[in-house]
Structure 1
Amino acid sequence: MSTISMRKSTLVAVGLAVAGTMALTGCKNGNEDPAAPSAPSSSAPTGAPASPSAGGYSEAPGGAASPSAGGYNETSGGTGGAAGAAAKPGQTFKLGETATVPFDSGNTKGGTIALTVTAVEQGNPADLAPLNLGDRVKGMVPYYVRYTVKNVGTVDLSFTSVSHIKGLLPDGSEAQGVSVIGKFEKCKEESLPKGFTNGQTQQECAIALAPSAQTKVTGAQYWNNPYMSKGKELSWK
């Protein structure tokens, strides 16, 4: 997976409220696992910074999620079932359906979230202007993958980040993504807040780029552990 990164040193007036690092992200190789950010200070921007490496986009591994003692529920159905009935690796959902997902992030272990991709919305190429990506995104069209995270387990998920969401093109291939440190008002992706315990819910968003106006982003995938292997991702279409 290739990565293009740059650092912005000034505030921008439209959309991006806090300047920082952005990155264009390409195809994953199945081994990346961005770590959750530590508890932010009052002055720190939300979100986890992209960290380019020689092998592509890579950050400290967050550790593998462990299924319940009974393993994955093989008959959980299209909506992923209630908490404790984890979605099967490779399972496909309709937009608006919910998957119950075991969730580990950094030092936070044993969590469970209900993950729902609610919509894939087409944006305008002009939306990307505040990111100063120039020719890197020439001809591309942004889409906003909107999803909901609900804590349905017993572990406090404060300050963790559920960011392993990518857009899908009609042929099933991965759309290029954009990671932004700071607030991009068109599509906010933030760490879970303090006190994110059972029953707490947060709306999230991921940016996906269609290569042209003739190609649409039509779905989404979640690829955190234990769904990182090729063909094991959870999909919404």
Structure 2
Amino acid sequence: AAGGAGTAGATGGGAGGGAVPAAATSVKIGQPATVDFADKTAKVTTKLEITVTGVEVGSVQDFTAAKLSIGDLGGRTPMYVSYTIKNLGDASLSFTAPDAKFVLFDTTGKKGLNVFTAAAPLPKCTSAKFQGLAKGAEVKGCTIISTPGNTPAAVGYTDLVDPLKLQASWTK
């Protein structure tokens, strides 16, 4: 998913409450976790080493200062999830978006909504470019997820088959 200005959209649900779902691998922010990645459209499967390097609370003012429109967030808070993704497998990641499988949960267990933007990147949070990411190569990027609260509890990476299950999670 390319970064930039444009429309706000969502994947997944914003509902739910309670605890953050358990993940197959749970680590602290700054530590790597290995996950499986598949893109059925691009017919790519590989293993990735992902390190969530930080979660920063953003603001609508970040977008207006950069002259970017994200539409109405409905009182939700944008969160900037920074990461490093290393391709451990033989498949090239061209025409894939492994960052689309990130999810964020607030302290009440509510899942955030991915904020999709379309034209120019937000200076505080720019998506990675995955084209041609071959075995052993890594890329750094940031994805924007909005939450009902302003305190992030955990970042997750969803399962290949069931987007409600987590392969990995990162907490402070």
| Offset at residue 27 of structure 1 (A) | 3.3
| CA distance, structure 1, for counterparts of residue 112 and residue 63 of structure 2 | 16
Change in Cα spacing, 1:160 to 1:217, as seen in structure 2 (3 Å) is same
| Offset at residue 159 of structure 1 (A) | 3.1
| CA distance, structure 1, for counterparts of residue 163 and residue 95 of structure 2 | 26
What is the 5 A alignment of 1:102-121?
102-105=36-39, 106-121=41-56
Gaps (5+ residues) in structure 1?
Answer: 1-14, 30-87
The secondary structure found in structure 2 opposite 1:102 is: strand
1:160-202 deviation digits (Å, cap 9, x = unpaired): 21121122101222123211123222211244022x1111110
| CA distance, structure 2, for counterparts of residue 132 and residue 110 of structure 1 | 34
Match of 2:160 among 225, 231, 234: 225
Is 1:23 matched up with 2:14?
A: no
Match of 1:153 in 2: 89
Match of 2:146 in 1: 209
Match of 1:192 in 2: 130
Match of 2:110 in 1: 173
Amino acid corresponding to residue 115 of structure 2 in structure 1: V
The secondary structure found in structure 2 opposite 1:127 is: helix
Amino acid corresponding to residue 192 of structure 1 in structure 2: F
Change in Cα spacing, 1:132 to 1:154, as seen in structure 2 (3 Å) is closer
How many positions carry a matched residue from both structures? 157
| Offset at residue 233 of structure 1 (A) | 4.4
Question: Please, what is the CA RMSD of the aligned residues?
Answer: 2.7
Q: Please identify the structure whose Cα radius of gyration is greater.
A: 1
Q: TM-score, normalised by structure 1?
A: 0.57
Gaps (5+ residues) in structure 2?
Answer: 15-21
Match of 1:51 in 2: none
Q: TM-score, normalised by structure 2?
A: 0.76
What is the 5 A alignment of 1:61-140?
90-105=24-39, 106-129=41-64, 130-133=67-70, 136-137=72-73, 139-140=75-76
Q: Is the 8 A contact 1:160 1:191 kept in 2?
A: no
Match of 1:59 in 2: none
The secondary structure found in structure 1 opposite 2:152 is: coil
Bigger share in strand: 2
Q: Is the 8 A contact 1:110 1:155 kept in 2?
A: yes
Q: Is the 8 A contact 2:57 2:79 kept in 1?
A: yes
